[in-house]
A and B are shown apart, each in its own frame.
Chain A
Amino acid sequence: MHELSIASSIVNTVIQEVKTRNIKSVSKIGLKIGALTDIVPDSLQFGFAAITKNTELAQTKLLIEIIRVKGYCKKCQTNFEVMEFIFICPNCQSNDINMNQGNELEIAYIEADE
């Protein structure tokens, strides 16, 4: 349950943005979360709601986009979607696979009222 720590990092970053950009209120926070990050969206929503209660972000919604895991086979150069975290090339069965996406944990955007 590290979602609470993650939620708190999100809040700190957003509050900093609010200050530097002189934003009145934030209605939405758009997150990109890679499927391999082991973050449970419901827990993150719960943690975010808990720590923003009675703060300026109390009404802010978290919009979470899950980024699927994609791999690149170093042997036969095939790009493919990694299903169920099995990093094996569907073309040549090699397990020497680079990960192209699925590790993301970022704040993509905020929706703000000036």
Chain B
Amino acid sequence: MPEKIMIEKKVLSENDILAQELRKKFQEHSVFVINLVSSPGSGKTSLLEKTIGQLNDKLNIALVAGDVQTENDANRLIKAGGKMVRPIVTGGSCHLDASMILKSIEQFDLAKIDLFVIENVGNLVCPSSYDLGEDMKIVLISTTEGDDKPLKYPGMFRRSSVMIVNKTDLLGFSDFELHTVKENAKKINGQLKVFELSCRTGDGLPKWFDWLVEQVAFKKSDNW
């Protein structure tokens, strides 16, 4: 006679335990942590190059760049002036998990970091299930993609706190409509904060920089 045994255990409980460990470590040193996600080619690395260029003097920024293969993204970030950059080559895996981040921070002194950026693998599906101990997920989408992407990938847009629309300089060259993408995103997640910018022309970047600096200061404050 078969017996039914109740387990009621999260499938990713191991990852969640490590993510909580990470969150605690970041919290101890008041490090603000973002998990940047997007499709391949939306401009994650470009945005981070610009961010390093502008904020390197103000903030101590550490970055880990996940890629399926090559350390190209990490090399671009170093070239842009990144002082603390580590690649994570997943060797085929479509997402980063908490154990990879835990391993990567061994090489950093968290006490000397204000902002920790995780550039996830370009993918809007798989990374959404894996908590990396971040304060927030930020989803990037560009105007050369479909403006219905939030509806196609609701999991990621629901779990993100911020949506950045990149490549606004190319608006009008495709059928992508800014108001449509925002409408679609708000249907999935009404609380999503939105930035519109172009890494190429620099349009809209100052608002993003200011907000990021504010968030870092907020994490260090007693109100966090």
Contacts and interface: CB of A to CB of B under 8 A. Distances in A.
B3 A105 contact: no
Given A38-B153, A112-B2, A87 B190 contact: yes
Nearest to A95: B190
A106 B9 contact: yes
Nearest to B93: A5
Nearest to A99: B158
B146 interface: no
Nearest to B152: A85
Contact of A87 (B6, B153, B188): B188
A61 B126 CA distance: 24
B4 interface: yes
Given A36-B154, A97-B190, A105 B12 contact: yes
B190 A110 contact: no
Nearest to B153: A38
B136 to A, nearest CB: 16
Interface in B73-100: 93-95, 97
A9 to B, nearest CB: 5
Contact of A109 (B7, B125, B188): B7
A10 interface: yes
Contacts, number: 104
A114 interface: yes
A111 B153 CA distance: 34
Interface in B143-172: 151, 153-156, 158
Contacts of A107: 7-11
Chain A interface helix/strand/loop/mixed: mixed
B191 interface: yes
Interface in A78-114: 85-88, 94-97, 99, 105-114
A109 B93 contact: no
B50 interface: no
B187 interface: yes
Contacts of B14: 9, 12
Given A1-B126, A13-B11, A109 B158 contact: no
Contact of A108 (B8, B93, B129, B156): B8
Interface in A30-56: 31, 36-39
A85 B158 contact: yes
Contacts of B191: 95-96
A6 interface: yes
Greatest chain B CB density within 10 A among A10, A23, A87 is at A87
Interface of B: 2-15, 93-95, 97, 125-126, 128-129, 151, 153-156, 158, 186-191
25 contacts: A1-B94, A2-B94, A5-B97, A5-B126, A9-B14, A13-B11, A13-B13, A21-B5, A38-B128, A38-B156, A85-B154, A85-B188, A87-B190, A88-B187, A95-B190, A96-B191, A105-B11, A105-B12, A105-B129, A106-B10, A107-B8, A108-B7, A110-B5, A111-B4, A113-B2
